[in-house]
Every structure is written in C-alpha cells, then in structure tokens.
Amino acid sequence: MSTTVIRRQQKRSRGALLILVLVMGGVFMTILTSFVGYVITQNRIVNFRYEQHRATDIAEAGLNYYKWYLAHYPSDVTDGTGLPGPYVHVYNDPEGGPIGEFSLSISSSTYCGSVASIEVTSSAFTYANPGAVSTVSARYSRPTVAEYSFITNGSVWYGSDRVISGPVHSNQGIRMDGHHNSFVGSGQATWTCTSSFGCNPNQNVDGVYTTGGNATPGLFSFPTSPVDFAGLTLDLNDMKNKAKNSGGIYYGPSGSYGYQVIFNGDNTVTIRKITNTTSYWAYSSEEGWHNTERNVISASSFVATKTIDTACPLLFFEDKVWLEGDVSQKVALAAANLSLGSQTNIVVNNNVNYVGTDAGLVAIAEDDIDIGLKVPDNLQVNGIYIAQNGRFGRNHYVTSGGYGLPSSLDPYVCQDTLTRYGSVVSNGRVGTKWTGTSCGSYSSGFENRVTSFDQNQVNDPPPLTPETSDVYLFTEWKQEG
C-alpha cells in the first residue's frame, strides 16, 4: 500500500473521530444544559413552595387575628372600619420586621338580624415572592347545645335499654345504665339515689353512677363545671319581636287550645287551630295524676299555609303547639304565652323528619316538651328540643282503674321505639319510659330509646340555638392555594 493511501486513511479516521467527538460533545452539552435547567427550575419551585408555605403561615395568622378580634368585638364583620372589605394588614416577623401581608374577606350568616356564624377568607403573600399567594378560609361560630345529646338541670336515670351517641351532662346526679359512646358528666361529686332512680333503699352514690354492664365508667366525669341554665335561657320576648318585625311567622293566643304546626317538606308550614281535645288522666312526677294534659287533638280548623322566610326562619306562637312534619331548612319554633303569664308546652304529635342535609330544627317551649300520647308505635323525632322551665318527656298512662284512658287510646300506652336525632335541653328530669310490668318489661312509654346528637347541627346550627360559650371557635377550615 502506498504512503499516499495510508495518509488518506489516517485523515479519514481523524475526521470520523472529530465528528464523533463533536456529536458526543453536543449530546453532553444538551444533557448538561437540560440538567442545569432542571436544577434551576427545581430551585425556583422549591423557593416558590417555601415562600408559599410562609404565605400560608401568614394567612393562618390572619385567621387567628380575626378570632382574637371577635373575642373583643363580637359579631363585627368589618374589622373595626365600618366599611366593606377586603381588609389588608402587614405581617411583622418578630425578628425580621415586615415580611408580607394578609388580606381578609369577611362575611356572616345571619338569621333575623342576629349573627349565626362568620366566614373569613385570608389571602397572603411574602414580600420575597408576591406571586406565591396562599389562601385559607374558616368559619367561626360559638359552640351551642347541639354538641350534646342531653343537657339537664335535674337528676336523671338512663335505663339499660338506652343507646346514646354524644355527650351527656346533668347539673345533678346521673344513673347511667345504658349504652353510650361519649363522656357523661355530672356537676356533683355525689348525690342521693332514691327509689325514683331505682335505688331501694336510698344510696349516696357517685355523681355518675351505674349498676349494669352496658355503661363505660371510663367515660364518666364528676364533678364537672355546671352548665349555666340561666345562660341557656333564650329571650322569648326578643324572639317574639323578631318573628313579628323581622320577617318571621307570629301567632298570638288562639282563644282555644292552641295550634297544630305541620312542616310540609318544601319550606312551607301549615297551621291549624285546635278547637277541641280529649280529656283523660295522666301522671307526672311533678303534677301527680291530673286530667288537664289534653294532648290528643279531637277537632281542628285550617288557618293558613305559609312560606318560611329563609332570612328569618322563626315561628313564634303565644299558645300551646302540636308539632309534626318534614323540615326542609334551618328553622326555629317557640311556644310561649307572654301576654297571659301562663307557661305553654310543645307536644310532639307525630314524626318530625328532616328533608336533606341542610335541614335543622330548634324547638323551644316556655314550659314542657311532651312526647304525645297518640303517636306512631315507632316514632322518629329530629331536632333540638329545649324545655326552658319544664321538662322533656312523656307522661305515664294506664288502661284500667279510676285513671284508665278512654279505650280508644289504650293501644298507645305501650309503644315500641323512640328514635331521636338531635339534642334535648331540659330544666327538669327527662323520661319517656316508666318502670313496671303493665307492658311486660315496663309500664308505659317506649320500650326502646335510641338517641344521637346531630353533627350537622353542631357545625351549622338552626337560628337562635342557645350558645354554651361566648368564645368563637373554628368549625370549618380549608386551604385553597
């Protein structure tokens, strides 16, 4: 092979190597550039997320600021300005000085002019990266009696058939023989359990006492701070004025026995005037045997069907009320005879159901809330029921003897199951089942009682539900960015 041919082959080899080097170098530079770009992008993302995290802290500081503000200026939704928002505040780090800002947008849910809850949205950013915005929102409201299954001002005995979901409190003693899944609190360290509570002879027992295996003593708490029943008492005159002047529904004394109130499940309510009732004998611990209960309707007349105002869903009757139906919105009902000075009752006359998850009822009686005599064998009662000066319960009835019922009412003495979804606040002793053997294992009332507090009402209670604290708390929280 000639020298010239060899040199040409060497040049071709060097050219191919150069091309290979250039190609590999290009590939390397592409990879390097991509890697550097990736590192830079990731660094920017990390920095953005860091600043956004700091912005979230600032936004949460905005929520906490307004919680503090509400503790000093309750129900103020203008941040002290009297003007519409948003309301901008500079956030100062204790060591670094001003590092960002939060902006508050504030609104409230009101019923009949009274604030029920306050919604606050807080958006924030840091000066280091104003584009890294974070938004959090929360609902503030005061805790209400909806958090409890029962609150009573008197001693009470929950029998072994009871199934209770939710907290139970009494300012006096409690005998708890039923099933329960939350704390049971008594305002007393000890109390005297008498024959009325199944103790014979009388015994001095713990504030919360049990004799059966259904209860969970680990959930007993006594003595606990008493619930201020006077503080739970609603201003019935104020409710009356709101019903008359703020868009609610108001009816004065009927001139007869009272009113039947039937919720229709479509944001309307039908009102009937009770023109006659049945006389019979009933027994209660407070009154003994009496023939003045008259909770069974024998005649009524149509009054009106009305649409319930969503801005002021309040019904006020200055007379006795028979209550039933399907509730489809948040609504409050009160029965109080303020003009005559005599106290009035509410009678649960049939099932009270909810239509949809947005429904809620609070029913306030100046005196007692009675579970009626002539009701379904399996009764469903939803709502928050408040007996301000009386008690929540069902009286005792018999079918024979001098106090025997009219025979047409005998089938209603022994009932099957009372299912209650909501809360009871009762000044006096509660009870819907009487001991004895007339009905086999009991003498009258409901053989089975199933009770649960309603979480939906805890988070969003009906209008004018009594509050258990003046302090606003977070009930909902969410992050939007």
Shared domain for 248 and 117, answered yes or no, is no
Rounded-to-integer distance, Cα 151 and Cα 105, Å: 36
Question: Which burial class, exposed, middle or buried, applies to 164 when counting CB atoms under 10 A from its CB (0-12, 13-18, 19+)?
Answer: buried
How high is the pLDDT of residue 303? 98
pLDDT reading at 12 higher than 90: no
pLDDT single digits (tens) 433-477: 999 999 999 999 999 999 999 999 998 899 999 998 888 887 787
Quote the number of domains for the chain.
Answer: 2
How high is the pLDDT of residue 473? 84
Mean pLDDT over residues 53-61, rounded? 91
Residue 38 host element (H or E) = helix 3-72
> 343 and 390 in contact (C-beta within 8 Å)?
yes
How high is the pLDDT of residue 212? 81
Of 443, 384, 391, the residue nearest 415 (C-alpha):
443
192 occurs within a structural domain: no
Pairing relationship of beta strands 258-264 and 208-209 according to DSSP bridges:
unpaired
What is the residue type of 374?
Answer: K
Shared domain for 310 and 455, answered yes or no, is yes
Pairing relationship of beta strands 360-365 and 314-317 according to DSSP bridges:
unpaired
- Runs of H (alpha helix) within 182-260: 229-232, 236-245
Shared domain for 255 and 374, answered yes or no, is yes
304 occurs within a structural domain: yes
Question: What confidence category does residue 38 fall into, taking pLDDT thresholds of 50, 70 and 90?
Answer: low
54 occurs within a structural domain: yes
pLDDT single digits (tens) 83-115: 998 999 999 988 878 999 999 999 988 888 888
> 175 and 209 in contact (C-beta within 8 Å)?
yes
356 occurs within a structural domain: yes
Shared domain for 128 and 239, answered yes or no, is no
Peptide bond preceding 223 in cis form (omega within 30 of 0): yes
How high is the pLDDT of residue 26? 67
206 occurs within a structural domain: no
Question: Up-side HSE of residue 448: CA atoms within 13 Å toward CB?
Answer: 9
Q: What is the mean pLDDT of the chain?
A: 90
pLDDT single digits (tens) 414-434: 999 999 999 999 999 999 999
19 versus 213: the higher-pLDDT residue is 213
Mean pLDDT over residues 294-305, rounded? 98
Query: What pTM did the predictor assign?
Result: 0.85
Torsion, CA 426, CA 432, CA 437, CA 439, rounded to 10:
170
162 occurs within a structural domain: no
Shared domain for 239 and 137, answered yes or no, is no
Of 146, 137, 149, the residue nearest 179 (C-alpha):
149
Terminal CA-CA length for the chain: 77
What is the residue type of 8?
Answer: R
DSSP class of residue 128? T
Shared domain for 362 and 253, answered yes or no, is yes
Mean pLDDT over residues 322-346, rounded? 91
> 449 and 163 in contact (C-beta within 8 Å)?
yes
Rounded-to-integer distance, Cα 269 and Cα 326, Å: 9
Shared domain for 288 and 402, answered yes or no, is yes
Shared domain for 349 and 447, answered yes or no, is yes
388 occurs within a structural domain: yes
Of 397, 388, 332, 318, the residue nearest 363 (C-alpha):
332
Rounded-to-integer distance, Cα 238 and Cα 252, Å: 15
Shared domain for 117 and 239, answered yes or no, is no
Shared domain for 391 and 291, answered yes or no, is yes
Question: What confidence category does residue 15 fall into, taking pLDDT thresholds of 50, 70 and 90?
Answer: low
Between the alpha carbon of residue 202 and those of residues 152, 163, 211, 429, the distances in Å are: 22, 26, 14, 18
Shared domain for 136 and 258, answered yes or no, is no
Rounded-to-integer distance, Cα 16 and Cα 187, Å: 96
Shared domain for 321 and 456, answered yes or no, is yes
315 occurs within a structural domain: yes
- List, in order, residues 6 or more apart from 263 with CB less than 8 Å away: 269, 324, 325, 326, 327, 328, 331, 352, 361
- Which residue range is the domain that position 26 belongs to? 10-143+474-479
Rounded-to-integer distance, Cα 319 and Cα 252, Å: 7
